[in-house]
Chain A
Amino acid sequence: MRPLIPVSRLSARWYDNGSKNCAWRECRVNFFIKMPIINVQNLSKQFKTLKAVDGISFTVSEGEVFGFLGPNGAGKTTTINILCTLLSPTGGSAQIAGYDCIKNPDEVRAAIGLIFQDTTLDTGLTAYENLKFHAYLYNLDRKLTEKRIDEMLGVVELQGRKRDLIKTFSGGMKRRLEIARGLLHYPRVLFLDEPTLGLDPQTRNTIWDFINALRKKEKITVFMTTHYMEEAENCDRIAIMDHGRIIALDTPARLKGTVHGDVIHLVTSDNQLALQEIERTFHITAREENGGLSLDTEKGDEFIPRLLHSLPVPVLSVSLKKPTLNDVFLRLTGRTIRDEGLQNGKEITREFVRSHRRAQR
Chain B
Amino acid sequence: MIQVRPIYVICVREFIKFFREKSRLLGTLARPVLWLFVVGNGMNSLIKPHVGFSYLQFIFPGMIGMTILFSSIFSSISIVWDREFGFMKEMLVAPISRMSIVVGKAISGTFISVAQAVIILILTPFLGIHLTVTQFVEVVAVAVLVSFCITSLGILIAARLTSFDGFNIIMNFLVMPMLFLSGAMYPVTSMPPALRHLTQINPLTYGVDAFKHVLLLDATPPLGPEFSLSLDLFIVTAISIIMLTLAALSFRKKE
Contacts and interface: CB of A to CB of B under 8 A. Distances in A.
Do chains A and B interact in one complex? yes
B22 to A, nearest CB: 12
Interface string A87-108: 1100000000000000000110
A47 interface: yes
B130 to A, nearest CB: 41
Interface string B96-122: 110000000000000000000000000
A138 B9 contact: no
Contacts of A123: 85
Name the prevailing secondary structure of the B interface residues.
helix
B254 A133 contact: no
A228 interface: no
Contacts, number: 76
Contacts of B93: 84-86, 109, 112, 114
A51 interface: no
B254 A122 contact: no
Given A107-B95, A124-B21, A137-B6, A47 B86 contact: no
Nearest to B82: A122
Interface residues of B, number: 26
B94 A138 contact: yes
Nearest to B168: A361
A143 to B, nearest CB: 14
A106 B164 contact: no
Interface in A111-152: 112, 114, 116, 118-125, 129, 132-134, 136-139
Interface string B10-23: 00010011001100
A291 to B, nearest CB: 53
A50 to B, nearest CB: 12
A33 B87 CA distance: 35
A254 interface: no
Given A125-B17, A361-B164, A109 B94 contact: yes
B17 A124 contact: yes
B197 interface: no
A129 B13 contact: yes
B162 to A, nearest CB: 13
Nearest to A135: B9
A7 B254 CA distance: 42
B86 A86 contact: no
A23 interface: no
Interface of B: 3, 5-6, 8-9, 13, 16-17, 20-21, 84-87, 89-97, 164, 254-255
**Top 6 closest pairs, chain A to chain B, by CB:** A136-B9, A137-B94, A109-B95, A120-B86, A110-B95, A88-B254
